[in-house]
Amino acid sequence: MKYLYFFLSSIFFLEPAISTANQNSSVPMYVRCDFFEKDPCLLNEQEAQRVSLEIEEGIKDGIAYAHYIKGILLLEGFYNNGSKNSREATIQFSKSAALGFRDAYTCLADSFLHGDGAQKDEKTAFNYYTIAANLGHGTAQFNLAVLYRDGIGVKASKKKAQKYFKLAANNDSLGELRKKAQQLLEQIHDSLSSK
């Protein structure tokens, strides 16, 4: 029997992970969503099919979260035939965002920033991060600060980077990433103070 690795809690709680060595990314110290963490559970093919059916029912009912989870599973290769499909994942994130699910905006921004499932477009990525950040999404706040700091998809602005690093540093949902946001906030503050 074919088994898929799947971290069940990812359906209920997603936690960002820092990726400092992303070879395809021009964004230093960028945070990418890492949906499947340390101790993956084994989900057999029958269980995977059941989860897929439940997600499809949610999509039929117009549930934004169902589109979002389908996107995640497609992105990671845990949906239907087990092959990754970042293009279809981006479509699902777009549908989820259109229904108002803020986490989907961050995933859309990731897709456009890296050209993974969508044509690379830093300005569009910036716009999606802005929406999610202003809705209180911590990872988006952090990433938006990086974009402002480095002038990616937007004119560089240390003041705006400072604003979003501060929001990220105070966002309880970020865990360890809050410390990195605080460090970067202090660096920005020091560089602004030295002028």
Sorted by where each starts, the structural domains of the chain and their CATH numbers stand as 3-193 (1.25.40.10)
pLDDT of residue 106: 96
CA distances from 135 to 90, 167, 190 (A): 20, 11, 28
pLDDT of residue 31: 39
Q: Do residues 169 and 178 make contact, with C-beta atoms less than 8 angstroms apart?
A: yes
Instruction: Give the mean pLDDT per block of 10 residues along the chain (195 residues).
Output: 31 34 35 36 63 87 91 83 88 96 95 96 97 95 96 96 95 89 92 80
Regarding pTM above 0.85, the answer is no
pLDDT of residue 43: 56
Q: Do residues 51 and 26 make contact, with C-beta atoms less than 8 angstroms apart?
A: no
**Closest CA relative to residue 128, chosen from 116, 111, 152, 149:** 111
What count of residues does the chain have?
195
Other beta carbons less than 10 A from residue 53's beta carbon: 10
pLDDT of residue 27: 35
pLDDT of residue 76: 82
Looking at residue 120, its amino acid is K
Which residue do the tokens 């830093």 mark?
A: 122
pLDDT of residue 39: 31
Other beta carbons less than 10 A from residue 56's beta carbon: 12
Tokens of 81: 């035939």
Q: Do residues 146 and 180 make contact, with C-beta atoms less than 8 angstroms apart?
A: no
CA distances from 94 to 100, 132, 157 (A): 10, 13, 28
Instruction: Kindly give, in sequence order, each residue whose CB lies less than 8 Å from that of residue 53, ignoring residues fewer than 6 positions away.
Output: none
Q: What are phi and psi of 12, to 5 degrees?
A: -105, -30
Strand partners, 41: 6
pLDDT of residue 96: 95
pLDDT of residue 45: 65
